[in-house]
Structure 1
């Protein structure tokens, strides 16, 4: 089985946001897959995806602080400055973390670890709505 869905995420403030439930809800066929993969692709260059801690919000805040320290807004060496001080920093952060995840599916569910969740990493102050393409491939577990 192959299926593909588009997911539009509402605008979020800068930070690392859990979106696991929204992703799962956007792919109803997931419950039919016995074994497979769900590929998530974010169609933007100033946000990214990550898989990490799903329980403690301070982990997400620490990620935000670390990346802001690593790649500060408005760094004087940036040439690309026309779209504001957070734009080039956002592109670099998005490149470091990446636009895609491929997750295992087992028995109709994402086969994530106990403490794992999918993050939308919003690197702009006003990034707006974000779009993902969700592609599911796997073995249909329904009895024929």
Structure 2
């Protein structure tokens, strides 16, 4: 059994779904592990991870707008230390999650044809986000 870890630093331009499939896939391929499990953790409380459609760009915009309706800004939150998008960002991260577990088969992530991995930035401003990867397998 082998293990490998790394931390990806992702620069986001602001709110939206930012695809990281390529950077994760490149790292995974360099590890020489044919089958196992890849775990990803977003180290933030106002950003998250998801696996989502990677063909139709409109899906990403629809998701952002839907999350905005679920957790709108200026909705009377007590926590607004970093501005009106602060608490809604925490709620959106709670809804979408900060971890992913992806099986590895044949040295590749076992994603479906139209699936991609996204860092979901819930804040309006640009941020530098960290995603930790842990790979275990043989």
If the TM-score is normalised by the length of the shorter chain, which range does it land in?
A: over 0.9
Partner in structure 1 of residue 91 of structure 2: 92
Q: How many positions carry a matched residue from both structures?
A: 137
Rg bigger for which structure? 1
Tell me the alpha carbon deviations over residues 78-127 of structure 1, each in whole angstroms, 9 at most, x when there is no partner. 10012100000000000111111010101111111001110111000115
Q: CA deviation at 1:29?
A: 3.6
Q: CA deviation at 1:25?
A: 2.4
In structure 1, distance between residues paired with 2:53 and 2:83: 31
Alignment of 1:112 with 2:118, yes or no, is: no
Q: CA RMSD in A?
A: 1.2
In structure 1, distance between residues paired with 2:28 and 2:104: 12
Partner in structure 2 of residue 132 of structure 1: 131
Partner in structure 1 of residue 14 of structure 2: 13
1:13–1:122 CA contact under 8 A, matched in 2: yes
Tell me the TM-score normalized by structure 2. 0.94
What is the SS of the residue equivalent to 2:127? coil
Q: CA deviation at 1:19?
A: 1.1
2:28–2:108 CA contact under 8 A, matched in 1: no
What is the SS of the residue equivalent to 1:75? coil
2:47–2:122 CA contact under 8 A, matched in 1: yes
Compared with structure 1, are the counterparts of its residues 29 and 41 closer, same or farther at alpha carbon in structure 2 (3 Å cutoff)?
same
In structure 2, distance between residues paired with 1:120 and 1:26: 16
1:46–1:127 CA contact under 8 A, matched in 2: no
In structure 2, distance between residues paired with 1:127 and 1:85: 15
Q: CA deviation at 1:10?
A: 1.3
Q: CA deviation at 1:28?
A: 4.4
- Unaligned runs of 5+ residues in structure 1 are 140-144
In structure 1, distance between residues paired with 2:30 and 2:134: 11
Partner in structure 1 of residue 122 of structure 2: 123
In structure 2, distance between residues paired with 1:83 and 1:13: 15
